[in-house]
Amino acid sequence: MSGSEPPVVLIVEDEPDVAETYNLWLQDEYEVRMAESGSEALEMLDESVDVVLLDRMMPGLSGDEVLERIRGSESSCRVAMVTAVEPDFDILEMGFDSYLTKPIRSDELHDTVSNLLERSTYDGLLQEYYSLVEKQATLEATKSHAELAESDEYQQLSTRVDDLNDELSETLGGVEDDEDFIATLRELSNGDEH
């Protein structure tokens, strides 16, 4: 992302009306590119792409497969899954940076893109921390306390979040309380109006 060029957002969505809606919402602030399939998205992905908005359920290459290939590439872009698929514990193994459940609002999309662009300037440790806190918040917003308590993956996630928080506190002299971060994510995922 250069200082004079607008950030580049790649929308990967197989439903043209949905893709065009996202384009209309974002085009005034960002250079928007659109791909109708996972294969087309991978062809369009280059070092100029800052954020990818990726539909999880697409014919051909699924969003999960596209995400895996993006993370296996040299690309340093941030990826938001934008999908109608309710999150489950499988998200813990996925390399996305944000998870939005359709239908989404314009302000949610803008906030997500803005946050991901800001995050792209953080170092790797902070990126990992916020990515894991986002996954934790997503699961906490959709799973019962009993389901969370029974999940070894969730317990490992929580331990890693705590360890990173401690490590960042030592390195940076303290990290903002992630309760506010989690509360904000819950509001977005629940569709609450501000």
- As a whole number of angstroms, the distance between CA 43 and CA 38 comes to 9
R_g of the chain computed on alpha carbons: 16
Tokens of 57: 């359920």
- Token pair 């960042």 in the structure block, residue: 168
What sign does the CA torsion over 171, 141, 14, 104 have?
negative
What is the reported pLDDT for 191?
45
- As a whole number of angstroms, the distance between CA 86 and CA 149 comes to 19
Cα–Cα nearest to 100, from 59, 146, 52, 66? 52
What is the reported pLDDT for 77?
92
The answer to whether 38 touches 12, Cβ cutoff 8 Å, is yes
Instruction: Give the N- to C-terminal CA distance of the chain in Å, as an integer.
Output: 30
What is the reported pLDDT for 110?
94
Domains of the chain: residue spans and CATH: 8-104 (3.40.50.2300), 120-190 (no CATH)
What is the reported pLDDT for 178?
56
Query: pLDDT per position in the chain (194 positions), as tens?
Result: 445 789 999 999 999 999 999 999 999 999 999 999 999 999 999 999 999 999 988 888 888 899 999 998 988 899 999 988 777 787 777 778 888 989 999 999 999 999 888 877 666 778 788 889 989 999 999 999 999 999 999 999 999 999 988 887 766 554 455 555 555 444 444 444 43
- Token pair 């609450």 in the structure block, residue: 192
Residues 6+ apart with CB under 8 A from 64: 56, 94
What is the reported pLDDT for 74?
84
Rounded to two decimals, what is the model's pTM? 0.67
- Token pair 């999150």 in the structure block, residue: 87
- As a whole number of angstroms, the distance between CA 13 and CA 42 comes to 13
Tokens of 68: 């895996």
The CB density around residue 148, as the number of other CB atoms within 10 Å, is: 18
